A and B are shown apart, each in its own frame.
Chain A
Amino acid sequence: MHIFEAIWTSFIASAGFGILFNVPRKAVIPGGICGMIGWLIFEGMSGNNQFDLVLATALASFVVAAISHLYARIYRMPVIIFSVAGIIPLVPGGGAYDTMRQLVENDYNEAIQLASQTFLISGAIAFGLVLAGTILPIILRSTRTVK
Chain B
Amino acid sequence: MLQNGAETYRVEDTITRLAQNYGMKAAQVFVTPTAIILSLFEKGRTMDYTKIVRIVDRSTDLHVVVLVNDLSRKVASESLSLDTARKELKKIEKTPEAYPAWVQTLAAILVSGCFALMFQGNWRDFMPAMIAGGAGYVVFLVIKRYISVRFFSELLAAFVIGLVAKLAITSGMGSQLDKIIIGAVMPLVPGVLITNAVRDLMAGHLVSGISLGAEAMLTAFAIGTGIAFVIVTL
Q: Do A and B come from one complex?
A: yes
Q: How far is the CA of A46 from the CA of B227 in the complex (A)?
A: 28
Q: In the complex, what residues of B have CB within 8 A of residue A25's CB?
A: 98
Q: Is the CB of B224 within 8 A of A80?
A: no
Contact of B107 among A8, A17, A99, A101 (CB under 8 A): A17
Q: Is the CB of B199 within 8 A of A78?
A: no
Q: In the complex, what residues of A have CB within 8 A of residue B192's CB?
A: 21, 84, 88
Q: Is the CB of B107 within 8 A of A94?
A: no
**Given that A21-B62, A100-B220, A100-B224 are contacting pairs, would A80 and B6 also be in contact in the complex, using a CB cutoff of 8 Å?**
yes
Interface membership of A123, Cβ < 8 A: yes
Q: Is the CB of A22 within 8 A of B98?
A: yes
Q: How far is the CA of A16 from the CA of B107 in the complex (A)?
A: 5
**Given that A25-B98, A93-B189 are contacting pairs, would A20 and B228 also be in contact in the complex, using a CB cutoff of 8 Å?**
no
Give me the interface of A with B, judged by CB distance under 8 Å.
1, 5-6, 8-10, 12-13, 15-17, 19-25, 27, 39, 77-78, 80-81, 84, 87-89, 91, 93-94, 96-101, 103-104, 122-123, 125-127, 129-130
Give me the interface of B with A, judged by CB distance under 8 Å.
5-7, 10, 60-66, 69, 97-99, 103-104, 107-108, 110-111, 114-115, 117-120, 178, 181-182, 185-187, 189, 191-192, 194-195, 198-199, 201-203, 220-221, 223-224, 227-228, 231-232
